[in-house]
Structure 1
Amino acid sequence: MPVNETLARYSDWSYVSAVVVYVLAMVFYLVEQAMTKTRRQAARELTAVGGGSAEAVDAPAESVVVTRSPRADRFGRMGFSLNVLGVLLHAAAVILRGVATDRVPWGNMYEYGSAVCLFAVIGWLVLAKRFDIRRLSVWVLLPIVVLLFLGGTALYTPAAPVQPALQSYWLAIHVTAVSISSGLLLLPGVASLLYLFRAAYERNGRFAGFAARLPKAEVLDRLAYRVTVVGFPLFTFAIICGAIWAESAWGRFWGWDPKETCAFIAWVIYAVYLHARATAGWRGNRAAVINILGFASMVFNLFFINLVTSGLHSYAGVA
C-alpha cells in the first residue's frame, strides 16, 4: 500500500512540535526548581509561612527546609500542563505515522525510539500525578528529549512500508510489548540514579544544593522498585514473543544473536535486582546500582547493538 505523504508530513511536524513543547516544559520545571528555596536550621517542627509550603528534609546534623512559594508551584503546574500537551502531540506523531504507512508505527529505529519515549512520558505523568513527585519531571524529561533529538536527526527514516521480514503480526505483539516495557524501565533507571545523589546527601550532606530538592531516598528507592515490578514481567513477555517469532521466521527459538544476547543480559540484571530485593532485602545503593546497570544495558542494546554490530536484527533496527 502506498504511503500517505500528507499524513507522514503531519506526523513529522507533530514530532518536532512535541520535542519543542517538552523542552518548554523542562524550562518551566527548572524555573520551579530555581524558585524553590532551601535553608538550613536546627531540626524542629515546621509550619507553612506566608501561604507557601514548607517541608523538613532529614539531613545528617540539621534540618533543611525546602520552601516552594505559590508562584513556584504555579510554574510547576504550567510545566506539567505543557508536559501533557507534549504527550498529545507525541501521540499524534506516532498515530499519524501508523495511519500513513498502514502498519504499526514502530518498524524502524526512529519509530521505535519515538514509541519508547512516548510510553515513558505517559508512565511518568501517571506516576507524577499519583505520587506527587512532579519535582523530578525535569530529570525524567532530560534523557527523553535527548533520545527524541537523536531519533529525529541521526536516526530519522522517512515513512515507508516495512521490509518483508517484518511483515508479520508478531511485529505488533513483540515490538509493542518491548516498547512499553522499555519505556517503563527508563523511569526506575532515572529514579535509581537520583537515589544515589539523595542517599549521599542524607549520609554526609554531599550535593546539598541539588539533592535537598529531591524526594527522600526511601521514596526514590520505592518508586524504582514498584515501576520495575510492572515493567519486568512485560519485558519477559516481549522476550518470549520474540523467541516465538524467531522460530517462525528463522527456524529456531534462540540463536544468541547480538540483540538477543544483550536483551537476555538486561533481563538477568533486572531479575537479579528483583530477586535481591525480595529475598536478600537489598535496598539502598546496591539495589540502585543494579537497576542503573539494567537501564544502561537497555540503552546499549538500543544504540550500540542496533547501529554498530551486525546480526539478524540489524536490517531494520527494531527491538
Structure 2
Amino acid sequence: MDNTWQHPHRQFAYFQLRSLHDWLWAGLVISAAAYVFGQYHALMDGYEVAILLATAPLLIWLGWSWPALKGFNLTVAIFSLLAISLYGGDLGRADSAFLLKYLFASQSAIMWMSALYVMATLTYFGLLLSGREFVGKVASCLTWSATAMGLTGLIVRWRESYLMGADIGHIPVSNLYEVFILFSIITALLYLHYEQHYQTRGLGAFVLLVISAAVGFLLWYTFDRHADGIQPLVPALNSYWMKIHVPANFVGYGAFSLAAMIGLVYVLKSQARTADPNGLLQTRLPDLALLDDLMYKAIALGFAFFTLATILGALWAAEAWGGYWSWDPKETWALIVWLNYAAWLHMRLSKGWSGKPMAWWAVVGFFVTLFAFLGVNMFLSGLHSYGEL
C-alpha cells in the first residue's frame, strides 16, 4: 500500500520541487514557442513543427537542470531579437546601423566570439599560474560571453540568409565555417557545465586551447578563403535531417574533444605527481580520480550523441542518395570514430580499465576524430564533397 502511494508521489516530486523562477522560465519558453509557431507555421513543414515541439520541453528541462542556462538563453534571445528588429527587412542595414555593424550582425558577433574565446584562454592560463579566484571568475565570464556572442551570430546569420531570399534561407550548419562556430559553442557549453557542476576551473586553460584552435581555423577560413559568405544549399543538404543530424554530431565531437583535453591533463598531472609533487600542475589541477570520472562521462555523452547522429545520417542518406550506407570516406571515418570510442567504453565498463592508458587513448582518439571531422574534407572526396576546404 505504501509503495503504491510512494511511486506516483516520486513521479510528481520533481515538479513539486520547482521554484517560481522555474515555472516562469517554462511559461516563457512555451510562450516563445507559441509565438514562433504563430509567426512562421505557414513556412514550416510537419518535421519542423515536430522539432519545435520537441525543443520547447528540452529547453525547459535544461533550464531547470542547469539554472545558469536560463540567463544565457535569455541573453542570446535578447541580442538576437534586437539584431533581427534592427534589420527589419533590409540586409543592407548591417553596414549602417551602429549596433549591427559593430556588435550584432552575424559576422560582427562571430568576431567578438573569436576575440573573447582567445581572451578567455589566456585568462584561464593566468588562473593556472596565479591561482587567484578573481582571475578564474573573469575567465568564466569571458567564456560565457564568447559563447553567447557565437550563438547570437549563428541565429542572426540564419535570419540574414532569409533576408537574402526565401530560396537561400537555411539553418546555419551547412558548411565548415558554420559548423566550426557550432563546435566552439557546444564544446564551451559542455565545459562550462562541468566547471560549474564540479566547482573547478583547472581544466579551462586546456579545453579553451581546443576552442581557440577552432577559432584560429575559423579566422583563416574567413579571411583567406572568404568562407563567411552565405551560399544557397546544395540539393542534398536541403532537408530537415540537417537540423538534427549536424547538431547531434557536433555534441559528439565537442564531448570527444573535451575528453581528450581531460586526458591530456590526466597525463600531465600523473607525471607531475612523481617528477614534481609540489609543483604547479600537481597543486592547481583537479584530482586524478575526478579527471578519470570526467573523461569517462564526456566520452559516454559523446558516444551517445555520435551514435544518434550516425543513425540519423543513415536515414538522411537513404532519402538523399537512395541507400543507408555507401562507404563514402566521411561515412567510413565516422564508423572508425564510433568503433574507437565503443572499444574505449567496452574496456572501461567490462574490463575496468582506467588511468593513464585510457587517458592516452582519449588523446589519440581526438586525432582520429579530428581527421574524420576535418582531414577527410581536406584530403578525400566523396558524397560529402560540399564540405571540402
Give the TM-score range, shorter chain: 0.7 to 0.9
- List per-residue Cα deviations over 1:212-269 (Å, max 9, x = no partner): 4211222111101012112211100100111111111112111111111111111011
User: Which among 260, 272, 276 is matched to residue 189 of structure 1?
Assistant: 260
Provide the residue aligned with 1:11 in structure 2. Answer: 106
Provide the residue aligned with 1:108 in structure 2. Answer: 175
1:174 Cα deviation (Å)?
1.1
Report which stretch shifted further, 308-317 or 2-11.
2-11
Gap regions ≥5 residues in structure 1: 37-71
Provide the residue aligned with 2:151 in structure 1. Answer: 91
Report which stretch shifted further, 109-118 or 23-32.
23-32
Kindly indicate whether the alpha-carbon contact (under 8 Å) linking 2:317 and 2:323 is maintained by their aligned counterparts in 1. Answer: yes
Residues 3 and 201 of structure 1: CA distance in aligned 2, closer, same or farther (over 3 Å): farther
1:147-226 to structure 2, matched below 5 A, reads 147-154=214-221, 156-205=227-276, 208-226=279-297
User: Which among 111, 135, 141 is matched to residue 202 of structure 2?
Assistant: 135
**TM-score, normalised with respect to structure 2:** 0.68
1:210-289 to structure 2, matched below 5 A, reads 210-289=281-360
3-state SS, counterpart of residue 106 of structure 1 = coil
User: Which among 35, 40, 47 is matched to residue 130 of structure 2?
Assistant: 35
Kindly indicate whether the alpha-carbon contact (under 8 Å) linking 2:129 and 2:280 is maintained by their aligned counterparts in 1. Answer: no
Gap regions ≥5 residues in structure 2: 1-42, 44-88, 95-99, 162-168
1:293 Cα deviation (Å)?
2.4
Provide the residue aligned with 1:121 in structure 2. Answer: 188
Distance of 1:226 and 1:5 partners within structure 2: 46
Distance of 2:201 and 2:129 partners within structure 1: 14
Provide the residue aligned with 2:26 in structure 1. Answer: none
1:57-76 to structure 2, matched below 5 A, reads 72-76=132-136
Kindly indicate whether the alpha-carbon contact (under 8 Å) linking 2:128 and 2:205 is maintained by their aligned counterparts in 1. Answer: no
**TM-score, normalised with respect to structure 1:** 0.83
Q: For 1:316, give the aligned amino acid.
A: G
- List per-residue Cα deviations over 1:52-82 (Å, max 9, x = no partner): xxxxxxxxxxxxxxxxxxxx11111112111
Residues 207 and 189 of structure 1: CA distance in aligned 2, closer, same or farther (over 3 Å): farther
Residues 76 and 235 of structure 1: CA distance in aligned 2, closer, same or farther (over 3 Å): same
Residues 206 and 257 of structure 1: CA distance in aligned 2, closer, same or farther (over 3 Å): farther
Distance of 2:135 and 2:364 partners within structure 1: 34
More helix by share: 2
Query: RMSD in angstroms over aligned alpha carbons?
Result: 2.3
1:126 Cα deviation (Å)?
1.0
- List per-residue Cα deviations over 1:181-232 (Å, max 9, x = no partner): 2122211111011111111222444894434421122211110101211221
Kindly indicate whether the alpha-carbon contact (under 8 Å) linking 2:187 and 2:251 is maintained by their aligned counterparts in 1. Answer: yes
Distance of 1:191 and 1:317 partners within structure 2: 30
Please identify runs of 4+ aligned residues in structure 1 that moved more than 6 A. none
3-state SS, counterpart of residue 142 of structure 2 = helix
1:297 pairs with 2:297? no
1:307 Cα deviation (Å)?
1.9
Q: For 1:76, give the aligned amino acid.
A: G
Distance of 1:249 and 1:168 partners within structure 2: 9
Count of residue pairs the alignment pairs up? 283
Report which stretch shifted further, 173-182 or 189-198.
173-182
3-state SS, counterpart of residue 135 of structure 1 = coil
With a CA cutoff of 8 Å and minimum separation of 6, indicate the structure with the bigger relative contact order. 1
Distance of 2:300 and 2:92 partners within structure 1: 41
Distance of 2:384 and 2:139 partners within structure 1: 38
Q: For 1:32, give the aligned amino acid.
A: L
Q: For 1:13, give the aligned amino acid.
A: S
Provide the residue aligned with 1:26 in structure 2. Answer: 121
More strand by share: 1
Kindly indicate whether the alpha-carbon contact (under 8 Å) linking 2:123 and 2:135 is maintained by their aligned counterparts in 1. Answer: yes
Q: For 2:109, give the aligned amino acid.
A: S
Kindly indicate whether the alpha-carbon contact (under 8 Å) linking 1:200 and 1:207 is maintained by their aligned counterparts in 2. Answer: no
Distance of 2:274 and 2:288 partners within structure 1: 10
